[in-house]
A and B are shown apart, each in its own frame.
Chain A
Amino acid sequence: MYNLLYKELRLAAHPNLFVFTLLGALVLVPAYPYGMVFLFGCLGPFITFTYGREINDIYYTSLLPVKKRDIVKSKIALVVVSQMAQLLISLPFALLRLRVLPAGNPAGIEANVAYYGFGLMIYTMFNLIFLTHFFKSGYRVGWSFLFAMIPATLGVLCMETAVHFPQFAWLDSVEKAMMFKQLPILLVGGVVYILGIAVAYRVSAKRFEMVDL
């Protein structure tokens, strides 16, 4: 598995995947809809999968001494690594903004505990649809991305809009007590993300086994 992930990073990953992963730092922008960070986290895999198709990556990998489902596993591992790296990269900037921008984010949700929980759920919606649809064929990236981006974008819109309603103001807070109250959202997000990846892998691998390359 390590060798396959190394192959993904060294040969299959488009440079833009790394750029979009670094965009976790956007949570330091004073007034910005931070939900965009998660959409960039979906755009990176899309560009890499498109690039992979152009460079015949799946073809080459299938000639290596690996099983067909290992190809699915390595692609999913790349998506998980890039999304988790994006969140990790954003963390120090989220902490820094508390000191340098204490006035908060007027454009939408704060980079708080709830934000990361919702982010994991948004990634899950995208991953489930994008990966399972893509591995039906191994090459139809555009439609897979379109179908997956609709719920992911709606998720971001809901998150960004909800915090403008007074009854959801606690979701927009960076106060310790409020963030403690937000903790279940993060926990649910984490569980949903892990389950989502497991389901995406099982379904994708099953579908890809049937694909004729």
Chain B
Amino acid sequence: MSILAVQGLTKKYESFTLDDVSFSLQPGRIMGLIGKNGAGKTTTLKSILNLVRADRGRVEMFGRDFYQNEQWCKQKIGVVLGGIDFYSHKRLSSITEVTRRFYPAWDGKAYQKYLTMFELVPSKKVRELSSGMKVKYMLALALSHNAKLLILDEPTSGLDPVSRDDLLVLFRQLVQDGERSILYSTHITSDLEKCADDITYIKDGKLMKSADKMTFIESFQHLKESGETRPLSLEEIMIRTERRNYDV
């Protein structure tokens, strides 16, 4: 059974349409959602989470319709929105004290473990954390209520290479027991070379391809230029697919 199955997700705006996006994510896997800025990655994630009202489409999480079972599904997921600060003047301990009340499955011991593991100080305020530490704090909250699906929107954007690598190693460790999955949007394709199992590529609101990484890369090899023998990287695939000629 898929942890997440998205079917025909469509959202129309005046100048942009997310058009009939479908993909699914299996347990124990990391899926990278790629596309250039404005391609529809965040709209896809927000539509999945009902933050944005989809015009059409179905989202199934853990075998249940998400829109019909929103509260139940949200008990089992953790969401990290990179670059958005919540309660920047509040201490982590205050945010945790509020958040834990919403999750019957909250595990205080696990939370303490993750705080120690991520070197988070509960008395610190959100604004005192680096971008990487903010992501880790949100992950600590998600993992403490035993989230089985982590939905991360550009969690590594703006991080230095060391912090990025640190998070990517952590993501791999999180899925290794085969129980959790991660859906992770980014435009930093080199990150996905390191940690993703599956790739879903959205271009101008349309799904280009969703497949495991090897199949995905192989299906774009027609973009190779003459003389090239090695397989194209994700970055080359994206650049060559998106490349435009300006008539100036």
From B84, which residue of chain A is reached at the shortest CB distance? Answer: A56
Does the CB pair B98–A7 fall under 8 Å? yes
The CA of A212 and the CA of B89, in the complex, are separated in Å by 26
CB distance from B137 to the nearest CB of A (A): 12
CA distance A67 to B52 in the complex (A): 13
Other-chain residue from B53, B88, B94 in contact with A10 (beta carbon distance below 8 A) = B94
A10 and B102 within 8 A (CB): no
> Nearest B residue to A213 by beta-carbon distance?
B51
> Beta-carbon contacts of B92-108 to A below 8 Å, as 1s and 0s?
00110111011100000
Q: Are A65 and B102 in contact, with the CB atoms below 8 A? A: yes
> Does B79 touch A at the CB level, under 8 Å?
yes
Are B75 and A55 interface neighbours, CB within 8 A?
no
A11, A60, A64: the one contacting B74 at CB < 8 Å is A64
Give the nearest-CB partner of B80 in chain A.
A63
Give Cα distance in the complex from A23 to B103, angstroms: 36
Give the complex CA separation of A65 and B145 in angstroms.
11
**A60 B103 Cβ-Cβ under 8 A:** no
**Distance in Å: Cβ of A102 to nearest Cβ of chain B:** 46
Set of chain B residues within 8 Å of A213, measured between Cβ atoms: 46, 51-52
A68 to B51, CA, bound (A): 8
Q: Which of B85, B97, B98 contacts A56 (CB 8 A)?
A: B85
CA distance A158 to B49 in the complex (A): 48
Q: A7-B98, A10-B94, A56-B84 are in contact. Are A68 and B50 (CB under 8 A)?
A: yes
Closest CB in chain A relative to B29 CB, distance in Å:
22
A68 vs B87: C-alpha distance when bound (angstroms): 19
Binary contact readout A52-79 vs B (1 if CB under 8 angstroms, 0 otherwise): 0001110110111111100000000000
Known contacts A6-B98, A11-B98, A65-B102; A60/B51 CB under 8 A: no
On chain A, the residues within 8 Å of B90 by CB distance are 11, 55
- Please tell me which one of the listed residues A10, A55, A59, A67 contacts residue B97 in the complex, with CB atoms under 8 A apart: A10
In the bound complex, CA of A66 to CA of B95 (Å)? 16
Q: Does the CB pair A65–B86 fall under 8 Å?
A: no
CA distance in complex: A194, B22 (Å): 46
Q: Is the CB of A67 within 8 A of B71?
A: yes
Across the interface, B86 reaches (CB within 8 A) one of A55, A66, A209, namely A55
Contact between A65 and B50 (Cβ–Cβ < 8 Å)? no
Q: When chains A and B are docked, how far (Å) is the Cα of A212 from the Cα of B53?
A: 6
In whole angstroms, how far apart are the Cα atoms of A213 and B153 in the complex?
A: 14
For A11, list chain B residues within 8 Å (CB): 87, 90, 94-95, 98
Any chain A CB within 8 A of the CB of B81? yes
Interchain nearest-CB distance for B54 vs A (Å): 10
Cα of A63 to Cα of B50 in the assembled complex, Å: 10
Q: Does A167 contact B (CB under 8 A)?
A: no
Q: Which single residue of chain A is at the shortest CB-CB distance from B86?
A: A60
Q: Which residues of A contact B166 (CB under 8 A)?
A: none
Interface centre among B71, B98, B99, B101 (most CB of A within 10 A): B98
**Contact between chains at A63 and B74 (CB < 8 Å):** yes
Q: Does A146 contact B (CB under 8 A)?
A: no
Kindly list chain A residues whose C-beta atoms are within 8 Å of the C-beta of B65.
none
Chain B residues near A (Cβ < 8 Å): 46, 49-53, 70-72, 74-75, 79, 81, 84-90, 94-95, 97-99, 101-103
25 interchain pairs, CB-CB under 8 A = A3-B98, A3-B101, A3-B102, A6-B98, A7-B101, A11-B90, A55-B85, A55-B86, A55-B87, A56-B85, A56-B86, A57-B87, A59-B86, A62-B49, A62-B51, A63-B49, A63-B74, A63-B79, A64-B74, A64-B99, A65-B75, A210-B53, A212-B46, A213-B46, A213-B52
Residues of chain A touching chain B, judged by Cβ–Cβ distance below 8 Å, are: 3, 6-7, 10-11, 55-57, 59-60, 62-68, 209-210, 212-213
Interchain residue pairs A-B with the least CB separation, the first 6:
A65-B74, A213-B51, A60-B86, A212-B52, A3-B101, A7-B98
